[in-house]
Amino acid sequence: MNILVINGSPKANSDTMHLTNAFIKGMIEKEEHSVEKVNVIEKNIKPCVGCFGCWKIQNGKCLQNDDQNDILEKVIKADVIVWSFPLYCYGMPSHLKAVIDRLIPLSKMSMKEENGVVAHDTLFDLSSKHYVVISGCGFPNWDGNFDGLRLQCRNMFSNNLTMVCVPETPMLSEPTAQPLTKPLLEKFAKAGQEYIENLKLSEETIISLETPMLPNDVYIQIVNQNSQG
Tens digit of each residue's pLDDT (9 = 90 or more) over 63-82: 999 999 999 999 999 999 99
Q: How many CB atoms lie within 10 A of CB 25?
A: 15
Supply the pLDDT for residue 116: 81
d(CA 10, CA 88): 11
Q: What is the mean pLDDT of residues 131-157?
A: 92
Q: Is the pLDDT of residue 143 over 80?
A: no
As a whole number of angstroms, the distance between CA 107 and CA 137 comes to 31
When the pLDDT of each residue in the chain is averaged and rounded to a whole number, the result is: 94
Instruction: Supply the pLDDT for residue 45.
Output: 97
pLDDT score of 226: 82
Distances from the Cα of 75 to the Cα of 72, 124, 162, 189, 201, angstroms: 5, 11, 17, 24, 22
- The reported pLDDT for the residue numbered 229 is 57
Task: Pick the closest to residue 102 from 146, 67, 131, 152 (CA basis).
Answer: 67
Instruction: Please give the pLDDT value at position 91.
Output: 94
Confidence of residue 42 (pLDDT cuts 50, 70, 90): very high
Whole-structure pTM over 0.75, yes or no? Answer: yes
Helix 178-198 to helix 15-27 angle, to the nearest 10 degrees? 40
CA distance 151 to 40: 22
User: Comparing C-alpha atoms, which of 126, 125, 122 is closest to residue 108?
Assistant: 122
Identify the structural domains of the chain with CATH numbers, from first to last.
Answer: 2-227 (3.40.50.360)
| Each residue's pLDDT tens digit, 188-229 | 999 999 999 999 999 999 999 999 999 999 999 989 988 775
Q: Where are the alpha helices (DSSP H) in the chain?
A: 15-27, 53-57, 68-77, 94-101, 147-156, 178-198, 203-210, 216-227
